[in-house]
Structure 1
Amino acid sequence: MRTLCSSTLIGEFFIIGFAGLVAMKDPDLTTGTVWTVCGIAMLLSVLLCGMVTRPGGVALGWVLQIALIAAGFVVPLMFFMGAVFAALWWASVHFGRKVDEAKARFAAQSAQGGSSTPDAA
C-alpha cells in the first residue's frame, strides 16, 4: 500500500505546485498567500508518504484529497484534478491493501510449507 499511496502523493505534490503557479495569476491573491498555502499542502503531501502506514495516515490523505477538490474554488481546474487524484487515492488504498494481504498470505504459506516455488528442488 505504501508504494501506491506514496506515488499518488508525489503526483499531488507536483499538481499542487502547478496549481500554485496558476493561482498566482489571480489578482485578488498575493504571492505570499498562494505559496504559503501551496507550500503547506506540498509539505503535507511529502510527509504523508512516510505516514501512510501509520494510524491516521490514510485519513490525513483523505483530508488532502478534499482540500485539493476545494482548491477548485480558486483554480477551477482543480475540481477535476482533485477528483482524479481522489479516485487515484481510493485505488491506491484499496488495491494496496489487497496487495499487502496477498503478500502476507504468501509469506504465511512459505513459512508453513517451505518454499512454494517450483525451482526449490
Structure 2
Amino acid sequence: MMSFEVTPGMRRLGASVLGMEAIVAGLITPVAIMVDGVRPALAVTAGIGLAVLCVISAGLLKWPFGYIAGSVVQVLAVCTGFLVPTMFFLGGIFTALWITAIFVARRVEGVTSR
C-alpha cells in the first residue's frame, strides 16, 4: 500500500487553489440566476455550497483525507457546469491546478529535503 505524506508545501498550494476556487464558486450563484435562468434556491445551494466545501476542504488539508475531500470538490466544480456551462471549463482548470499543486509541491519538497 502506498503512503500519502502531507507536506507543508502541499497544504499551502492546495489551500491556495481551494481558496480561489471558493471565490469563483460563490460568484457562479448570481451568474446562474441572472444569465442562465437557474432557480435561485438551486443556484445558491450549488454555488455557495461549493464555496463552503472548498473552505472546509482547505481546512482539512493537514490530513490525507483532506486531499480526498479536495478531489471530490474538483469533481463537483466540474459538475456545476450543468448549471453554468462556463464551469465545465473553469472546473477543469481548477482540477488541473489541484493536481499540479499536489505533484509540484511533493517534487519540490522532495528535492529540497535531500
TM range (shorter): 0.7 to 0.9
Alpha-carbon distance in structure 2 between the residues aligned to 1:47 and 1:100: 25
**Structure 1 residue 38: Cα displacement:** 1.9
Residue 116 of structure 1 corresponds to none
Residue 114 of structure 1 corresponds to none
Residue 74 of structure 1 corresponds to 83
Greater Cα shift, 94-103 or 15-24: 94-103
Q: What is the aligned-residue identity percentage?
A: 32
2:68 counterpart (59, 71, 78):
59
**Structure 1 residue 94: Cα displacement:** 0.7
Alpha-carbon distance in structure 2 between the residues aligned to 1:102 and 1:49: 25
Of structures 1 and 2, the larger Rg is shown by 1
- Paired letter, 2:79: A
Runs of at least 5 residues in structure 2 that lack an aligned partner in the other structure: 1-9
Map 1:102-117 onto structure 2 (within 5 A). 102-103=111-112, 105=113
Alpha-carbon distance in structure 1 between the residues aligned to 2:105 and 2:59: 15
Alpha-carbon distance in structure 2 between the residues aligned to 1:97 and 1:50: 19
**Structure 1 residue 17: Cα displacement:** 1.3
Residue 53 of structure 2 corresponds to 44
- Paired letter, 1:52: L
1:14 counterpart (23, 36, 60):
23
- Paired letter, 1:53: K
Instruction: After superposition, give the CA deviation of every residue in 1:3-48 in whole Å (9 maximum; x if it has no partner).
Output: 1111100110111012111111243x33233212222211111111
Q: TM-score, normalised by structure 1?
A: 0.77
Q: TM-score, normalised by structure 2?
A: 0.81
Runs of at least 5 residues in structure 1 that lack an aligned partner in the other structure: 107-121
2:109 counterpart (100, 106, 111):
100
Alpha-carbon distance in structure 2 between the residues aligned to 1:47 and 1:102: 30
Task: Extract structure 1 runs of 4+ deviating beyond 4 A.
Answer: none
